[in-house]
Amino acid sequence: MGSMSWERTNTDYPNKTAQKKVSKSLSSFVRRKSRRGLGLGLFTKHDIRSGEFVVEYTGSRIPTKHADTLKTRYLFEVDEDWTVDGSSRTNLARYINHSCNPNCEAEIHNGRIYICAVRNIKAGEELSIDYGEEYFDEFIRPSGCKCERCAVRDLTVDR
Ligand SMILES: [Zn+2]
């Protein structure tokens, strides 16, 4: 595994301020192709301990009522009034894919969304969270879940 090449991501941030803000995150994570059938995923470059803060899900706050009318999947509901629109590419957390058996979960404090590890994660592993039923029904179910747990189930049950 010594020849694994990490994708360079820093050219995505032409804005100096944004670049400075995310530089710490960029050194800790890498976006690269995820499992078959999925797009990019977010991978950690270092070991993370269970319970540790991983990355914040950032974006602009919009009213949840308005968010419900939008078609993007990069919306994270904070409460019934506010939703974070995480569609900006500076929001690394948007690259975290759904899993039915995730290694991270979101914790909401004071209107901000913190992604934290729910088990020990090794360097090189892909980060995942369970985005919940609503997200699953809208974005995952139509083409089938490609997460590690469901992929294994497909192989063992569907024949
Ligand atoms: Zn799944």
More confident residue, 37 or 135: 135
Instruction: Record the pTM.
Output: 0.79
Q: Which of 43, 51, 79, 41 is nearest to 63 (CA)?
A: 79
- Residue 10: what pLDDT? 40
pLDDT confidence tier of residue 135, bands split at 50, 70 and 90: very high
Report the separation in Å between the CA atom of 20 and the middle of ligand 1, taken as the mean of its atom positions.
35
144 pLDDT above the threshold of 80: yes
Q: What is the CATH number of domain 21-157?
A: 2.170.270.10
- Residue 156: what pLDDT? 61
- Residue 36: what pLDDT? 81
Report the separation in Å between the CA atom of 156 and the middle of ligand 1, taken as the mean of its atom positions.
14
Q: Domain segments of the chain: what residues?
A: 21-157
Q: Would you say 118 and 105 are in contact if contact means Cβ atoms under 8 Å apart? A: yes
Q: Which of 34, 158, 33 is nearest to 98 (CA)?
A: 34
Q: Which of 101, 91, 94 is nearest to 149 (CA)?
A: 101
Report the separation in Å between the CA atom of 122 and the middle of ligand 1, taken as the mean of its atom positions.
20
Report the separation in Å between the CA atom of 13 and the middle of ligand 1, taken as the mean of its atom positions.
32
Residue-wise pLDDT tens digits, 72-112: 899 999 999 999 999 998 999 999 999 999 999 999 999 99
φ and ψ of 108, to 5 deg: -105, 120
Report the separation in Å between the CA atom of 150 and the middle of ligand 1, taken as the mean of its atom positions.
4
Query: Any idea of the CA torsion for 107, 103, 41, 144, to the nearest 10 degrees?
Result: -100
Report the separation in Å between the CA atom of 97 and the middle of ligand 1, taken as the mean of its atom positions.
10
Residue-wise pLDDT tens digits, 16-75: 444 444 455 568 999 999 988 888 999 999 999 999 999 999 999 999 999 989 988 999
Report the separation in Å between the CA atom of 130 and the middle of ligand 1, taken as the mean of its atom positions.
9
CA dihedral (51, 34, 30, 122) positive or negative: positive
Report the separation in Å between the CA atom of 16 and the middle of ligand 1, taken as the mean of its atom positions.
38
